[in-house]
Chains A and B, each alone.
Chain A
C-alpha cells in the first residue's frame, strides 16, 4: 500500500518548488558575481576604521 499516490498536482508543485529553488540559487550566484566584479574593480568604497585619512580632509587642511 502506498501513502504517496502519484497525482498531477504533486508534479506541478514539484516543478514550482524546483523552479523557485533554482531561480533563488541563480540569483545568489549573480549577486555574488556582481559583488566580486565591483570589489575587484575597487568602486568607491570607504572603510571608516578610525584611521586618519588625509584624502577626506578639505584640500587646504590636507596640505602639510
Chain B
C-alpha cells in the first residue's frame, strides 16, 4: 500500500482520537483529587514506604480511579450527551468510540490493581479493585439511575483513595483510615446537591433521579444541612486521632463552622430568593466545599510534617 492510498483510507475516519482524548476519558480533574487524598493517606501513615513504592502506589491508585472514570463514560454516554456539563466528553462528542472507552477502562483496571499489589500489598489492591467495581457497577450502572440517594452511596467510591493510600503503607485498615474515608463520604452529598441546585436543568433533562428532581428543592436544601451537620463529628473526630493535632483541630473547627453556616444559609433560602441572585449562596457553598476538603487534607499533611519535626500531634 502506497502513502497515497494510506492517506485516502485515513480520510474515511476523520475522528480518529488523539492521545489527549484517551487522557480525557480518565477524568483528569477527578484524578487530581484522588492523587492528593491518596498521597495524604499514604504520607500520614505511621509506616513509611520507599519513595519508588510510594510513587508507584499513588500512580496506580490514580490509574485505577481513571479506569473507573472511563468505564463510567462508556456506560453513561447517553446521559452525558444531553447534559451541558458533560456533552463535550470524548464519547458523547464522538472523539472516542464507546467500545474503546470500555477497553481502556477494563485494561487499566486490571493493570492498576495488579501493579498496586506488586508494588505494595494485596489488601490495598483488593480495596482498589472494590473501589473500581463500586464506582462502575454499583454507582454508574445501578444506583445513579434508580435512586435519589445515588450521590450518598456513590460517594463511597471517591472516599476510598486516602484509605487505600494508608493501607498501601501499613497493610491494614485503621480508625484513622476509616475517618479519612468518612470525611469524604459525608462531604460528597452536600457538595453535589449544592451543584444540583444551580445545575437543575442538566439533571432534569437527563432524567437522573437527583434529589432535586425526585424530592424537590426544599427537601434538597434540608438534606444539605443535615449531611453538613453529620459531617462535623467525623471531621473533628479525625482531628482527634493520631493523624491530627492542635493545628488540625483548629482548622477543622474553623472549616466546619464556615461550612455549617453556608448550609444554614442554603436551608433558609427559598427558590425565589435563590433565582433572584442566580444561586450566589449555593455557588459560593459549592466553591467553598472544594476548599474545605483540600484544607482538611492539607492540615493532616502539615500536622504529619510538624510531628516529624517534634512539634505537632497529640
Among B3, B16, B50, which residue has its beta carbon within 8 angstroms of that of A41? B50
Q: Are B19 and A3 in contact (CB under 8 A)?
A: no
Determine the chain B residues whose CB is within 8 A of the CB of A12 once the complex forms. 16-18
What 1/0 flags go to B44-57 for Cβ under 8 Å of A? 00000010110110
Among A3, A4, A16, A33, which residue has its beta carbon within 8 angstroms of that of B18? A16
A38–B259 CA distance with the chains assembled, in angstroms: 45
Determine the chain B residues whose CB is within 8 A of the CB of A41 once the complex forms. 50
Among A9, A10, A16, which residue has its beta carbon within 8 angstroms of that of B19? A16
A18–B23 CA distance with the chains assembled, in angstroms: 13
B4 within 8 A of partner (CB): yes
Tell me the chain B residues, 1-41 only, with Cβ under 8 Å from chain A: 2-4, 7, 10-11, 13-14, 16-20, 22-23
Among B10, B17, B53, which residue has its beta carbon within 8 angstroms of that of A16? B17
Q: Are A10 and B52 in contact (CB under 8 A)?
A: no
Q: Are A3 and B4 in contact (CB under 8 A)?
A: yes
Q: Are A5 and B7 in contact (CB under 8 A)?
A: yes
Interface size on A, residues (CB 8 A): 20
Determine the chain A residues whose CB is within 8 A of the CB of B11 once the complex forms. 7, 9
Q: Are B10 and A7 in contact (CB under 8 A)?
A: yes
A20–B153 CA distance with the chains assembled, in angstroms: 35
Determine the chain A residues whose CB is within 8 A of the CB of B55 once the complex forms. 30
Determine the chain B residues whose CB is within 8 A of the CB of A19 once the complex forms. 18-20, 22-23
Given A33-B52, A41-B50, CB of A18 within 8 Å of CB of B16: no
A34–B28 CA distance with the chains assembled, in angstroms: 25
B59 within 8 A of partner (CB): yes
The binding surface of chain B is classed by DSSP as helix
Given A15-B18, A16-B17, A16-B18, CB of A34 within 8 Å of CB of B2: no
Q: Are A15 and B19 in contact (CB under 8 A)?
A: yes
Q: Are B118 and A34 in contact (CB under 8 A)?
A: yes
Tell me the chain A residues, 35-63 only, with Cβ under 8 Å from chain B: 36-37, 41
A20–B305 CA distance with the chains assembled, in angstroms: 37
Determine the chain A residues whose CB is within 8 A of the CB of B16 once the complex forms. 9, 12-13, 16
Shortest distance between the CB of A22 and any CB in chain B (Å)? 9
B119 within 8 A of partner (CB): yes
Among A4, A33, A36, which residue has its beta carbon within 8 angstroms of that of B3? A4
Write the chain B residue with the least CB distance to A1.
B4
Write the chain B residue with the least CB distance to A32.
B52
What would 9 A/B residue contacts be, using CB atoms closer than 8 Å?
A: A3-B3, A5-B7, A7-B7, A12-B16, A12-B18, A19-B23, A34-B53, A34-B119, A36-B52
Give the 3 A-B CB pairs with smallest separation, nearest first: A19-B19, A12-B18, A3-B3
